[in-house]
């Protein structure tokens, strides 16, 4: 146990160490484990081959999301409509079969609770402050918004957690990202996250666990914090943490899997202590003046390829680092863009609003506000709005947001990862250019040959209306 003033990360880590090796590697107890269909089949096969059972099925939750079609999943008679993609159908069937065989709670594709694991975990209260949480998906960092040490893991580690409820990990360095000030008009959490990644790069937080602090974070909604924490992995961080506060407690109270009654009171008393000590030292600290962050968008094939929407496509020759220059040249070739092109001149033909980054109710409200009374531009071949969960979908429909999306020309879909990852039937065709609220713009991420521009939900809606990347402030009268 450390005796010096500790950061929030160090406190959670120390509380979960089961064993520590001489080289510092620790066996860490895992409180919660989320399982989906893509990274778990081989893990269950491994358990089966070794004759092992799941150590704590009661602390494990299985949810299909990546491969799940976002079209209707049941016929009028209640029978299942199978996924048309053969690989998706196999993985979805395997998850359902494995969950039943190993006694793991399973949220099926027709459940009102189904959704993306990183949306479902927080909204069910499965994710709690001070816990350790693992999932076979890199964007597990999202759960850190609630003060959980949330770690994305690989398939072999999924098997290890299933079998032992532990993980073997080396401690990370600590990094404080202090966000100070009020965002400008038209700037939201996604803009701040993209701006930050553009500043420090995709390896800027490698080897670190980020703790987000400052007045901006304290004033943010939980949905906005989930977006910030979600994108931590795009800066290379092992995890992203935000200390729980009154907003966190208000968000969690009454959630189906959150503590109840006196257990709730006791839990909140514990959670109030989950802060970094005043004299705690981080290995690295960065401060961002959020008032200076503009509405932002990516131009290339990495989340670090960020410019203000009012800017232009950079010239690779301007990059001093030869490696970065070469990457920029490759990115422009893939994206079909020329240096110096104003961002606002880039035409878009696909729109995707959704994902574990921006598929929550606050995101849909922001996009709907821009779309209200407007139609998508003639050049938009497809515009999709995909709620992050069944709960988000129901709430959006109760507020009439689905009608706004439909009236604007959007498809209103069932919950799932959808066009974020291209593992299902929702894909951008080769050469298609998508304004997307998702988290990655790698080549082929949204489908072979697809071109992705990352931005906020409001900016995606603005692009849908004009047919090109657009400063949302021009549509809201704040330019």
Write out the binding residues for [4Fe-4S] cluster. 356, 417, 420
CB 351 within 8 A of CB 460: yes
What is the token pair recorded at 243? 């200390």
**389-421 burial, b if ≥16 CB within 10 A, otherwise e?**
bbbbbebbeeeebbebbeebbbebbbbbbbbbb
Residue 53 tokens read as 């059972």
Q: In sequence order, which residues have a C-beta less than 8 Å from that of residue 1 and are 6 or more positions away?
A: 14
Q: What is the DSSP letter of 198?
A: H
Nearest 5°: the CA angle 413, 394, 185 is 80
User: Cβ distance 214 to 180 under 8 Å?
Assistant: yes
Mark the binding-site residues, compressed into ranges.
356, 417, 420
Enclosing H/E stretch for 233 = none
Phi, psi for 218 (deg, rounded to 5): -60, -30
Token pair for 162: 């299933």
- Asked if 21 and 65 touch (Cβ cutoff 8 Å), the reply is no
What's CA 102's distance to the chain center, in Å?
28
């Amino acid at each position: 146990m450390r005796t010096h003033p500790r950061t929030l990360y160090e406190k959670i880590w120390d509380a979960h160490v089961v064993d520590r090796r001489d080289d510092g590697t620790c066996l860490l107890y895992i409180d919660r484990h989320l399982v989906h269909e893509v990274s778990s089949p081989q893990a269950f096969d491994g358990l089966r081959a070794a004759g092992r059972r799941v150590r704590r099925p009661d602390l494990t939750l299985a949810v299909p999301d990546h491969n799940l079609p976002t079209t209707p999943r049941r016929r009028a008679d209640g029978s299942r409509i199978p996924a048309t993609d053969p690989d998706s159908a196999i993985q979805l069937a395997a998850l359902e079969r494995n969950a039943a065989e190993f006694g793991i709670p399973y949220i099926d594709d027709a459940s009102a609770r189904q959704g993306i694991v990183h949306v479902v975990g927080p909204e069910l209260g499965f994710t709690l402050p001070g816990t350790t949480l693992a999932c076979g998906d890199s964007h597990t960092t999202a759960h850190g918004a609630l003060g959980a040490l949330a770690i994305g893991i690989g398939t072999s580690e999924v098997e290890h957690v299933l079998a032992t409820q532990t993980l073997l990990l080396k401690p990370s360095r600590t990094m404080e990202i202090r966000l100070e000030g009020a965002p400008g008009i038209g700037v939201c959490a996604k803009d701040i996250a993209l701006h930050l990644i553009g500043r420090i790069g995709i390896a800027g937080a490698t080897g670190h666990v980020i703790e987000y602090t400052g007045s901006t974070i304290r004033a943010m909604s939980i949905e906005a914090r989930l977006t910030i924490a979600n994108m931590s992995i795009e800066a290379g961080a092992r995890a992203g943490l935000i200390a729980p506060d009154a907003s966190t407690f208000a968000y969690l109270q009454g959630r189906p899997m959150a503590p109840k009654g006196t257990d709730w009171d006791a839990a909140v008393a514990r959670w109030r202590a989950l802060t970094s000590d005043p004299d705690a030292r981080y290995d690295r600290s960065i401060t961002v003046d959020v008032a200076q962050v503009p509405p932002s968008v990516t131009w290339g094939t990495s989340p670090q390829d960020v410019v203000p929407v009012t800017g232009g496509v950079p010239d690779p020759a301007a990059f001093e680092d030869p490696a970065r220059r070469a990457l920029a040249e490759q990115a422009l070739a893939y994206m079909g863009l020329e240096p110096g092109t104003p961002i606002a001149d880039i035409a878009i033909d696909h729109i995707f609003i959704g994902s574990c980054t921006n598929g929550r109710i606050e995101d849909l409200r922001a996009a709907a506000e821009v779309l209200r009374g407007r139609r998508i531009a003639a050049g938009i071949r497809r515009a999709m709005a995909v709620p992050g969960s069944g709960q988000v979908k129901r709430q959006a429909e109760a507020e009439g947001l689905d009608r706004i999306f439909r009236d604007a020309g959007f498809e209103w879909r069932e919950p799932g990862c959808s066009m974020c990852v291209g593992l299902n039937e929702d894909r951008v065709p080769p050469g298609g250019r998508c304004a997307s609220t998702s988290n990655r713009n790698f080549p082929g991420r949204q489908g072979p040959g697809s071109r992705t521009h990352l931005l906020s939900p409001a900016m995606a809606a603005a692009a849908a209306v004009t047919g090109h990347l657009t400063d949302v402030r021009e549509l809201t009268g704040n330019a």
